[in-house]
């Protein structure tokens, strides 16, 4: 069974923000909401790194655990989605998420917080696949069209990988072997619970 | 005087029972069931649209999974694409 995952290769990300633009365009995300954004670490310092961050669709999602109205659900493909008709916009998920994925559009005269919005892995939401209602609430459902998320497919350097966990892990592994370094993949351990990821390889990468 | 007491008792009973008429605030319907992505985006189940990528059979889960694996490899793995 396919388990959808994101990987961002910080050795390749050039901070072009193509993924951010692709996401906003594909899903027509409103002003003030960024489902995906690029974060640069040690900006301006030699050796700076950039990473593209969005919802990682965690295996054990903290947002799902803290939601008081249980608006989240996980699909068979491992994509964490939510029902905007159930969400009350409390913001608990925003505090729980280690990636800062949940976004809250300002709605109303006094800037009242609206319902939560986040990356859907281009999988839409609990409306009919490809329907107008699904697009307006959640954005495009590219998975149901047999496509992968627009951010990853648009990435010019292929720093951002998306797809079946086995495939993206194989691609990243090939790169690490070719480079001979850099097995640490940012966020992988936090999102998918691997003890190996996020730590430098010890004893020739046997750990 | 007796009428006054009766009125007061009725008023008190009405206040006590007032909460009984409140609408329930619990989550009545819960999260709706989402359709599986391999069923396609058409108006009817297991159909596609002009936006559906070619190369897989809409409604066939195995075909959809294999197609996405191929797409991920062809689109994102230049080690196999170029070499």
Whether the pLDDT of residue A200 is over 80: the answer is: no
What distance in Å separates residue A172's CA from the closest CA in chain B?
9
The separation between CA A66 and the C-alpha centre of its own chain, rounded to angstroms, equals 19
Q: What is the dihedral of CA A33, A35, A38, A41, to 10 degrees?
A: 90
pTM exceeding the 0.95 threshold for the entire prediction: no
Work out the burial of residue A11: count CB atoms within 10 Å of its CB; fewer than 13 is exposed, 13-18 middle, 19 or more buried. middle
Rounded Cα distance between A137 and A127, Å, is 9
Looking up tokens 């905007």, which residue turns up?
A: A84
Give chain A's domains with CATH numbers: 4-192 (3.30.70.20)
Work out the burial of residue A125: count CB atoms within 10 Å of its CB; fewer than 13 is exposed, 13-18 middle, 19 or more buried. buried
Interface touch B27/A86, C-beta < 8 Å: yes
> Which tokens in the block code for residue A196?
């190996």
Chain A environment of B53 (Cβ under 8 Å) = 145-147
Looking up tokens 């696949």, which residue turns up?
A: A129
Whether the pLDDT of residue A199 is over 50: the answer is: yes
Q: ipTM, 2 decimals?
A: 0.86
Cβ pairs bridging A and B (under 8 Å): 112
Phi, psi values for residue A26, rounded to 5°: -65, -40
> Which tokens in the block code for residue A141?
């459902």
pLDDT digits (tens, 9 = 90+) for A13-65: 999 999 999 999 999 998 889 999 999 999 999 989 999 999 999 999 999 99
What residue spans of A32-90 are helical by DSSP H?
Answer: 62-66
Chain A environment of B48 (Cβ under 8 Å) = 145
Looking up tokens 């694996």, which residue turns up?
A: B69
Average pLDDT along chain A: 89
Chain A environment of B75 (Cβ under 8 Å) = 148, 153
Chain B from 12 to 41: CB within 8 A of any A CB: 27, 29-41
Rounded Cα distance between A123 and A143, Å, is 5
Radius of gyration, alpha carbons of chain A: 17
Three-state SS string across A99-155, please?
CCCCECCEECCCCEECCCECCCCCECCCCCCCCHHHHHHHCCECHHHCCCCHHHHHC
Q: What is the pLDDT of residue A133?
A: 92
**Average pLDDT of the segment spanning A154-178:** 94
Q: Is B60 on the interface with A (CB under 8 A)?
A: no
Q: Which of A129-133, A154-158, B12-16 has the lowest mean pLDDT?
A: B12-16
pLDDT digits (tens, 9 = 90+) for B6-53: 989 988 888 787 767 766 655 555 677 789 999 988 776 667 778 899
Chain A from 105 to 124: CB within 8 A of any B CB: 123-124
3-state secondary structure of A36: coil
Beta carbons of B53 and A147 less than 8 angstroms apart: yes
Confidence of residue A204 (pLDDT cuts 50, 70, 90): very low
Residues near B6 by beta carbon (within 8 Å), at least 6 away in sequence:
none
pLDDT digits (tens, 9 = 90+) for A61-114: 999 999 999 999 999 999 999 999 999 889 999 999 999 999 988 766 666 678
In this prediction, what percent of chain A has a pLDDT beyond 90? 73
């Amino acid at each position: 069974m396919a388990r959808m995952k994101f990987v961002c290769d910080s050795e390749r990300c050039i901070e072009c923000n193509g993924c951010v633009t692709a996401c906003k365009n594909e899903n027509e995300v409103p002003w003030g909401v960024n489902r995906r954004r690029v974060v640069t670490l040690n900006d301006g310092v030699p050796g700076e790194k950039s990473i593209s961050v969005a919802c990682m669709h965690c295996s054990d999602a903290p947002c799902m655990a803290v939601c008081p109205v249980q608006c989240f659900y996980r699909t068979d493909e491992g994509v964490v989605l939510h029902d905007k008709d159930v969400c009350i916009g409390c913001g608990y998920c925003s505090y729980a998420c280690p990636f800062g994925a949940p976004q809250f559009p300002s709605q109303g005269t006094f800037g009242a917080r609206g319902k939560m919005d986040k990356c859907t892995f281009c999988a839409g939401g609990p409306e009919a696949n490809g329907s107008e209602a699904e697009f307006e609430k959640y954005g495009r459902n590219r998975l149901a069209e047999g496509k992968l998320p627009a951010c990853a497919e648009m990435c010019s350097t292929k720093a951002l990988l998306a797809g079946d966990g086995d495939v993206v892990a194989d691609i990243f592994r090939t790169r690490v072997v070719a480079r001979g370094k850099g097995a640490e993949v940012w966020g992988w351990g936090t999102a998918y619970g691997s003890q190996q990821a996020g730590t430098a390889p010890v004893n020739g990468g046997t750990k | 005087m007796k009428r006054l007491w009766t009125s007061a008792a009725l008023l008190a009973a009405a206040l006590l029972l007032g909460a009984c008429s409140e609408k329930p605030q619990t989550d009545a319907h819960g999260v709706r069931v989402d359709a599986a992505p391999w069923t396609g985006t058409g108006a009817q189940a297991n159909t596609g649209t002009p936006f559906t990528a070619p190369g897989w059979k809409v409604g066939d889960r195995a075909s959809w999974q294999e197609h996405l694996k191929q797409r991920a490899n062809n689109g994102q793995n230049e080690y196999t694409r170029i070499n």
